[in-house]
């Protein structure tokens, strides 16, 4: 097991190298002169040259890349062009934590409601409850989350006045964004749990449990759910990632000052170091979370050990 | 039961191989036709396809004509779904918008699927370092969660409808490559592939004649489902101002513009969102139905 | 021999179990009568689809409802009809009074629970022992079924054990609460030949030791010869022959039984001749033949066989057979209809 964990962590190295390379190359793939774009339309040639010099764009590519990783490893992702503050400071002062908080609450909601709905559905196959839950899940999955966010604001903030329209700080601020962010995930987890549970309940060992005289509830929760959850765990990890992405949209709708808005604002302002830094941080976070999920999957599913 | 004596083993006789493909298609159609949800999905897709094609004929108004005195009007007999902040007819804009959403959704899926299929087959068929390289690239692409990859690409290329197609297609590549690689590996292991190889068939022939037809079902299912999420991603990009630019009628941009008026004129946001929901439900229903019908494991 | 009712631990009367699918009803078990005497072994033999497994699942009411349902009949266990029991009453019987071993040791054990936990579970449910005592009993059971270093094995997961070991664990689970009746559904089919003999030997010895009655379901006549006192041969949901094990092998009466016996290769005969094969295949369960269900494949079938279903009749030596050949009507019939030339 320990060996597996070490190997799994080592496996992330090529991905991390690829991610940094891709993020690094972003700036060089910009059609036209990146320095000119970043310096702004009204910049004179000296300013553009100064920008180029600051970003080190005159050095050979490989040298630039090694400097990029070297700096990134020490926590230096360059300075924002817009605010001139260090990128890492902009990210980690508060925005990163807000987005992570949002993603965690969203994931928790998605897991909670997804699991409950999936179990209810699977244990009452083809019942009214099952069909309604699966229709709701289909709609949850098919709904653009930015639209859901706007509709929630319209209903709960504008019409009913129960919750704040925008911003971040108190728990009341978190409710609507978390629902907005978690809905699609809940739908996916519900569908996944249902099908996994149905498959498991069809297995021979479930029949063995019944043959032992185990009651329905115990068969479903002890024998069924434990096995059904194994594939669901991987989905939860992937969901955290897409929630991280979904946060971009949600933060825009609810005017939450997280990483998502930072990316959008930075793209608009052609603040490339900022864009690079934020995307890099998100990708690394996602890789880390997925690695943790993979390891816990192993812990849950002891059978995989054989292979 | 015929009374002709046949000498056969007592076990249930295996399906004759020459019939199996025809039988499979027959049972596929039967299952699909029985699946009411899948038919509903197909119907929704068809209706939207027709609306998109005939939008200029059906649309009651010009989608781009400003009519400022008539702005933010609620639904009426003249403007069935009301007017937006510039007095444009929302129904007409939605109809024209379906063209962009469907084209972007379908084109990006085809583009991404094609590249993904090629990479997946090459990876699964040739294995070794090619496989490792392609799969590592896929890992890297998948490390950018959700819409972030598309945003990164748009931030480099600039915001436009074409770039949205490219950006959304990119995310499809690793998804398809992984599925196709898995299926290719399974098919490659079948004994008859070895037999064909032994008879001296060229790689391209094996790939196109034998492997590709055998892995089509997961590709078809995945494509249908991917179109659904592609439509959502594309409209999200436009909503964020990173996709199709206003004044082009597009559902995501309509939502972005209508947002500010949600208190006084909610119809600006309700209708375009409902339409996205409906189309995506259509593709998801149809995709789910295809999967059930193509899955050999689902007997009932 | 005359048996009083008390000697029978289980009596199945006119059991009918059907599956309801989109294409229609499948009468998987269609009027089966069986009984098992205390401490004795009954074998049920037949090909796949003959209804032998469904019979055993029906006895324990383990069918996948609502698709599969007992339509009529009685299952009398110790004088009480199991078909009429409530769900809760059935739970108290399962694993306690009657237990079952399944065919696939690979998939019949829960992959996420240790072997010990799986044995202890049924002990805790039925004997209300605490965790520690149940675990100790589970380890004892593993020892009883001949698993070396049982303390260590109890803590292992099923994937860590071989197929034969897993089937031993299954046996331990099923015998943990000293059941009066053990139903073994193809207990050795999925195992290697060498392991098969060991497992059969184990079941036989434990049966003797614990005095358990046994119902063994198999398609392997070797297993029948080795294990059983009585045998029921099933075909298409019906018992076609029901006899002592000796009679079945020395004087089989139903053409299907004869066919089955002839299709077993005999190692002691030095003949190069063909292995007999029963012509044709099992009829489509949705369209069963009107008369005798074996008639379309029977070399002796005559007109009456195709139109009228024979009853299960007792013959001179106590053997029960469902075939027209042994009736008085037979002589009045004309030529055989299936000419296999």
Compute and round to an integer the Cα radius of gyration of chain C.
Answer: 21
Q: Which helix (H) or strand (E) holds C241?
A: strand C238-244
What is the Cα–Cα distance from B21 to C187, expressed in whole angstroms? 36
Task: Tell me the chain B residues in contact with residue C289 when contact means C-beta distances shorter than 8 Å.
Answer: 1
Other Cβ atoms within 10 Å of C235 Cβ, number: 27
Task: Tell me the chain C residues in contact with residue A222 when contact means C-beta distances shorter than 8 Å.
Answer: 113
Round the average pLDDT of chain B to a whole number and report it.
83
All chains having 3 or more CB pairs closer than 8 angstroms to chain B: A, C
> For helices C163-175 and A204-211, what crossing angle results, to 10°?
30
All chains having 3 or more CB pairs closer than 8 angstroms to chain A: B, C
pLDDT band at C104 (very low <50, low <70, confident <90, very high): confident
Smallest CA–CA distance from A203 into chain C, residue: C107
Q: What would the DSSP string read from start to end of B73-110? A: PPS-SSSTT-B-TTS-BHHHHHHHHHHHHHHHHHHHHH
Is residue B16 predicted with pLDDT exceeding 60?
Answer: no
What are chain B's domains?
27-56+90-294 (1.10.3720.10)
Other Cβ atoms within 10 Å of A303 Cβ, number: 15
When pLDDT is averaged across residues A73-86 and rounded to a whole number, the result is: 84
Please state, for a pLDDT cut of 70, what percent of chain B lies above it. Answer: 90
Smallest CA–CA distance from B286 into chain A, residue: A138
**Hey, is the C-beta of B155 within 8 angstroms of any chain A C-beta?**
yes
Interface of A with B in 204-243 (CB under 8 A): 241-243
Lowest mean pLDDT, pick from A290-304, B261-275, C212-226: A290-304
- Tokens 């999905």, residue located: B41
Interface test with A, best of C20, C111, C156 (most A CBs within 10 A): C111
> How many CB contacts within 8 angstroms connect chain A with chain B?
135
CA triplet C136, C142, C148: central angle to 5 degrees? Answer: 115
**Hey, is the C-beta of B136 within 8 angstroms of any chain A C-beta?**
yes
Q: What is the pLDDT of residue B263?
A: 82
Please state, for a pLDDT cut of 70, what percent of chain A lies above it. Answer: 98
User: Between A19, A26, A253, which is nearest B143 by CB?
Assistant: A19
Lowest mean pLDDT, pick from B200-204, C249-253, C263-267: C263-267
Interface test with A, best of B134, B136, B152 (most A CBs within 10 A): B152
Q: What is the pLDDT of residue A303?
A: 57
Task: Tell me the chain C residues in contact with residue A205 when contact means C-beta distances shorter than 8 Å.
Answer: 107-111
Higher pLDDT, residue B124 or A1: B124
Select from C237, C273, C241, C275 the least CA-distant residue to C256: C241
Task: Tell me the chain C residues in contact with residue B10 when contact means C-beta distances shorter than 8 Å.
Answer: 47, 263, 277-278, 281-282
**Hey, is the C-beta of A158 within 8 angstroms of any chain B C-beta?**
yes
What is the Cα–Cα distance from C330 to B16, expressed in whole angstroms? 39
Distance of CA C302 to the CA centre of its chain: 31
What is the Cα–Cα distance from B279 to B284, expressed in whole angstroms? 9
Round the average pLDDT of chain C to a whole number and report it.
84
CA triplet C125, C169, C102: central angle to 5 degrees? Answer: 85
- Residues B108-137 have pLDDT tens digits of 999 999 999 999 999 988 888 999 999 999
End-to-end CA distance of chain A, in Å?
Answer: 12
Cis peptide before B247 (omega within 30 of 0): yes
Distance of CA A34 to the CA centre of its chain: 29
CA triplet B173, B176, B178: central angle to 5 degrees? Answer: 105
Higher pLDDT, residue B19 or B160: B160
Q: What is the pLDDT of residue A180?
A: 92
Task: Tell me the chain A residues in contact with residue C112 when contact means C-beta distances shorter than 8 Å.
Answer: 226-227, 230, 300-302
- Residues B40-53 have pLDDT tens digits of 999 999 999 999 99
Is residue A132 predicted with pLDDT exceeding 90?
Answer: yes
pLDDT band at C87 (very low <50, low <70, confident <90, very high): confident
When pLDDT is averaged across residues B281-298 and rounded to a whole number, the result is: 83
What are chain A's domains?
2-73 (no CATH), 92-300 (1.10.3720.10)
Whats the size of chain C, residue-wise?
341
Is residue C262 predicted with pLDDT exceeding 90?
Answer: no
Is residue C254 predicted with pLDDT exceeding 70?
Answer: yes
**Hey, is the C-beta of B220 within 8 angstroms of any chain A C-beta?**
no
Shortest Cα–Cα distance, A80 to chain B (Å): 16
In which region does residue C283 sit, left (phi positive, over 0), alpha (psi from -120 to 50) or beta (all else)? beta
Show the tokens assigned to C43: 């074998």
What is the Cα–Cα distance from A135 to A114, expressed in whole angstroms? 13
Check B143 against A146: CB less than 8 A apart: no
Check B236 against A249: CB less than 8 A apart: yes
Smallest CA–CA distance from C296 into chain B, residue: B3
Q: Which helix (H) or strand (E) holds A275?
A: helix A272-300
Q: Specify whether the CB–CB gap between C100 and C56 falls below 8 A.
A: yes
CA triplet A10, A245, B167: central angle to 5 degrees? Answer: 95
- Please report, for chain C, the start and end positions of each structural domain, with discontinuous segments joined by +: 8-236, 239-267+291-340
Shortest Cα–Cα distance, C271 to chain B (Å): 21
Whats the size of chain A, residue-wise?
307
> How many CB contacts within 8 angstroms connect chain A with chain C?
74
What is the Cα–Cα distance from A224 to C152, expressed in whole angstroms? 26
Q: Specify whether the CB–CB gap between C182 and C207 falls below 8 A.
A: yes
Q: What is the pLDDT of residue A272?
A: 86
Residues 6+ apart with CB under 8 A from C337: B3, C301, C302, C303, C305, C306
What is the Cα–Cα distance from A7 to A1, expressed in whole angstroms? 10
Check B136 against A18: CB less than 8 A apart: yes
Shortest Cα–Cα distance, C44 to chain A (Å): 19
When pLDDT is averaged across residues A191-205 and rounded to a whole number, the result is: 90
Show the tokens assigned to A279: 């995307």
Check C95 against A211: CB less than 8 A apart: yes
Q: Specify whether the CB–CB gap between B251 and B275 falls below 8 A.
A: yes
Check A204 against C99: CB less than 8 A apart: no
Q: What is the pLDDT of residue B118?
A: 93
When pLDDT is averaged across residues C193-201 and rounded to a whole number, the result is: 86
Q: Output phi, psi for C213, to 5 deg.
A: -85, 150
Is residue C221 predicted with pLDDT exceeding 80?
Answer: yes
In which region does residue A299 sit, left (phi positive, over 0), alpha (psi from -120 to 50) or beta (all else)? alpha
Task: Tell me the chain C residues in contact with residue B300 when contact means C-beta distances shorter than 8 Å.
Answer: 21-22
- Residues C293-324 have pLDDT tens digits of 888 888 887 788 888 888 888 877 778 888 88
Smallest CA–CA distance from C281 into chain B, residue: B10
Lowest mean pLDDT, pick from B24-33, B166-175, B221-230: B24-33
Verdict on whether the full-model pTM lies above 0.90: no
When pLDDT is averaged across residues C276-305 and rounded to a whole number, the result is: 79
Interface test with A, best of C53, C103, C110 (most A CBs within 10 A): C110
DSSP-assigned letter for residue C31: E
When pLDDT is averaged across residues C50-73 and rounded to a whole number, the result is: 86
Check C125 against A212: CB less than 8 A apart: yes
**Hey, is the C-beta of C251 within 8 angstroms of any chain B C-beta?**
no
Interface of C with A in 126-185 (CB under 8 A): 126, 157, 159, 170, 173-174
Show the tokens assigned to A97: 């934590």
**Helices and strands, number each (H, E), in chain A:** 14, 0
**Hey, is the C-beta of A132 within 8 angstroms of any chain C C-beta?**
no
Q: Which helix (H) or strand (E) holds C231?
A: strand C230-235
Is residue B14 predicted with pLDDT exceeding 50?
Answer: no
Q: What is the pLDDT of residue A62?
A: 86
- Residues C144-154 have pLDDT tens digits of 888 889 899 99
Fold of C8-236: Rossmann fold (3.40.50)
Please state, for a pLDDT cut of 90, what percent of chain B lies above it. Answer: 37
User: Between A208, A302, A306, which is nearest C109 by CB?
Assistant: A208
b/e per residue B3-33 (b: at least 16 CB within 10 A): eeeeeeebeeeeeeeeeeeeeeeeebeebbe
Interface ipTM above 0.90: no
Is residue B236 predicted with pLDDT exceeding 80?
Answer: yes
Other Cβ atoms within 10 Å of B212 Cβ, number: 17
Round the average pLDDT of chain A to a whole number and report it.
86
**Hey, is the C-beta of A212 within 8 angstroms of any chain C C-beta?**
yes
User: Between C47, C277, C296, which is nearest B7 by CB?
Assistant: C277
């Amino acid at each position: 097991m320990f060996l597996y964990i070490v190997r799994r962590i080592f496996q992330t190295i090529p991905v991390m190298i690829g991610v940094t390379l891709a993020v690094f190359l972003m700036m060089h793939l910009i059609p036209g002169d990146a320095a000119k774009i970043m310096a702004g339309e009204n910049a004179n040639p000296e300013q553009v040259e100064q920008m180029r010099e600051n970003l080190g764009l005159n050095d050979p590519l490989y040298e630039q890349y090694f400097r990029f990783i070297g700096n990134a490893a020490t926590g230096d992702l360059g300075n924002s062009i817009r605010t001139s503050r260090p990128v890492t400071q902009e990210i980690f002062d508060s925005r990163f934590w807000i987005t992570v908080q949002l993603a965690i609450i969203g994931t928790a909601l998605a897991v909670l409601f997804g699991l409950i709905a999936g179990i209810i559905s699977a244990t009452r196959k083809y019942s009214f409850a099952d069909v309604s839950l699966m229709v709701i899940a289909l709609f949850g999955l098919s709904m653009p989350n930015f639209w859901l966010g706007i509709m929630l604001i319209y209903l709960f903030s504008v019409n009913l006045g129960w919750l704040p329209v925008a911003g971040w700080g108190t728990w009341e601020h978190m409710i609507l964004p978390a629902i907005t962010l978690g809905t699609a995930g809940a739908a996916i987890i519900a569908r996944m749990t249902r099908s996994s549970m149905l498959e498991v309940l069809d297995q021979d060992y479930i029949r063995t449990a019944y043959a032992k005289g185990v009651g329905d509830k115990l068969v479903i929760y002890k024998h069924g759910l434990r096995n059904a959850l194994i594939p669901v765990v991987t989905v939860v990890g992937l969901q955290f990632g897409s929630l991280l992405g979904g946060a971009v949209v949600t933060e825009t709708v609810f005017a939450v000052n997280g990483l998502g808005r930072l990316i959008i604002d930075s793209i608009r302002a052609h603040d490339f170091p900022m864009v690079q830094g934020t995307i890099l941080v998100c990708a690394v976070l996602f890789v880390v979370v997925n690695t943790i999920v993979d390891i816990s999957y192993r812990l849950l599913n002891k059978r995989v050990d054989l292979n | 039961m015929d009374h002709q004596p046949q000498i056969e083993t007592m076990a249930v006789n295996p399906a004759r191989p020459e019939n199996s493909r025809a039988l499979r298609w027959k049972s596929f159609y039967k299952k699909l036709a029985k699946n009411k949800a899948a038919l509903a999905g197909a119907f929704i897709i068809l209706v939207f396809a027709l609306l998109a094609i005939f939008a200029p004929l059906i649309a009651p108004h010009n989608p781009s004509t400003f009519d400022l005195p008539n702005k933010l009007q609620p639904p009426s007999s003249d403007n069935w779904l009301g007017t937006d902040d510039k007095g444009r007819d929302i129904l007409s804009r939605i109809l024209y918008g379906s063209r962009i959403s469907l084209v972007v959704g379908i084109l990006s899926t085809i583009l991404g699927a094609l590249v993904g299929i090629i990479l997946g087959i090459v990876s699964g068929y040739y294995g070794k370092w090619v496989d490792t390289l392609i799969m590592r690239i896929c890992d890297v692409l998948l490390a950018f969660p959700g819409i972030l990859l598309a945003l990164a690409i748009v931030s480099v290329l600039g915001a436009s409808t074409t770039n949205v197609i490219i950006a959304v297609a990119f995310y499809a590549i690793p998804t398809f490559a992984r599925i196709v690689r898995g299926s290719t590996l399974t098919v490659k292991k079948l004994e008859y592939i070895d037999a064909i190889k032994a008879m001296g068939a060229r790689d391209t022939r094996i790939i196109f004649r034998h492997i590709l037809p055998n892995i089509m079902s997961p590709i078809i299912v995945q494509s249908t489902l991917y179109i659904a999420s592609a439509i959502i991603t594309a409209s999200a990009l436009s909503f964020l101002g990173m996709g199709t630019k206003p004044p082009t009628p597009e559902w995501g941009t309509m939502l972005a513009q209508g947002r500010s008026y949600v208190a006084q004129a909610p119809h600006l946001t309700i209708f375009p969102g409902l339409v996205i929901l409906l189309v995506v439900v259509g593709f998801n229903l149809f995709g789910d139905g295809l999967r059930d019908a193509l899955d050999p494991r689902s007997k009932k | 021999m005359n048996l009083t009712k008390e000697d029978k631990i289980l009596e199945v009367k006119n059991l009918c179990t059907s599956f309801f699918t989109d294409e229609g009803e499948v009468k998987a078990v269609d009027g089966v009568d069986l009984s098992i005497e205390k401490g004795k072994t009954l074998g049920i033999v037949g090909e796949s689809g003959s209804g032998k497994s469904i019979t055993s699942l029906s006895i324990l009411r383990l069918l996948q409802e609502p698709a599969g349902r007992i339509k009529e009949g009685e299952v009398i266990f110790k004088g009480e009809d199991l078909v009429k029991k409530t769900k809760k009453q059935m739970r108290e019987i399962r694993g306690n009074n009657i237990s079952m071993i399944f065919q696939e040791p690979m998939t019949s054990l829960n992959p996420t629970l240790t072997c010990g936990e799986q044995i202890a579970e049924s002990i805790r449910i039925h004997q209300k022992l605490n965790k520690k005592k149940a675990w100790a009993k589970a380890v004892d059971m593993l020892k009883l079924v001949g698993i070396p270093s049982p303390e260590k094995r109890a803590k292992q997961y099923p994937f860590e054990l071989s197929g034969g070991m897993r089937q031993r664990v299954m046996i331990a689970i099923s015998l943990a609460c000293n059941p009066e009746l053990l139903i073994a559904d193809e207990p050795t089919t999925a195992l290697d030949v060498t392991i098969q003999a060991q497992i059969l030997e184990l079941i036989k010895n434990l049966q003797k030791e614990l005095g358990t009655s046994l119902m063994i379901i198999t398609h392997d006549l070797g297993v029948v010869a080795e294990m059983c006192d009585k045998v029921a041969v099933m075909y298409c949901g019906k018992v076609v022959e029901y006899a002592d094990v000796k009679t079945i092998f020395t004087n089989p009466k139903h053409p299907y039984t004869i066919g089955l016996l002839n299709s077993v290769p005999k190692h002691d005969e030095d003949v190069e001749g063909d292995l007999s094969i029963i012509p044709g295949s099992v009829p489509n369960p949705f369209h069963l033949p009107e008369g005798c269900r074996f008639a379309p494949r029977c070399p002796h079938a005559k007109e009456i066989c195709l139109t009228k279903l024979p009853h299960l009749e007792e013959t001179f030596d106590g053997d029960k057979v469902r075939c027209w050949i042994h009736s008085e009507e037979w002589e009045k019939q004309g030529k055989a209809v299936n000419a296999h030339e």
